[in-house]
Structure 1
């Protein structure tokens, strides 16, 4: 589970969005919406002392009986895969720019229960774009698709 929490005294953030992809050990994306430019709209505003929850579970192993609440999103990722995520929002005083936060949870770290790595720098953006580009190259090669296990 990943919590996006806005501490007391902070300026509210607007237009919280997310793009994500499940990745394997070779950092190739298998599912998700990481190629989408806009991503998934999470909430129109997040106010101080509020939080947004992202549940990342293997849906073959976890049975969910209730619907997600207003402040949460549930993503299905196989237990042998990790994920990479770009969470972004409008800047409060410069609304035409967006602030990005990248969450990377490698398959080996996810399997051991280690926390995900959070990057707020260009390094995170470059990593996210590199993974998306690697997955586009992988999908463009039909021979690799025949050899690879199902996504």
Structure 2
């Protein structure tokens, strides 16, 4: 039957169906466009992944090497700190030894020689302590640089 011969409620229903079909067509077109855009984005992400994958593998390898270097430097730093502690203990022992010694006639006569010896021991200790302290500072700096580089590589 032609639309002219249909009853009025049927005409309204037919018009609603046509409008609904037009809206559905617009939605289908929009969804197809969105699907095309998403496929393009997915392909772009796959291309970027393929391009960046070797670089990521290299970064992970360097990160593992950095971990090894960090462990080595930590061990060296621990050794330097132990050496520093030993030097401090030696200094304390020398100080106590000098404080306990009772000045005798011989010591008084050889005071200049003993003083020179003590000053030489103090200088030797200071130099050893200074070298150990410089080494500790250098290792701590190297360790912090490696940890910073590692955190940058991981990020």
Could you tell me the TM-score, scaled by structure 2's length? 0.23
Higher relative contact order (CA 8 A, sep 6+): 2
Choose between structure 1 and 2: higher strand proportion.
1
Larger of the two Rg values belongs to structure: 2
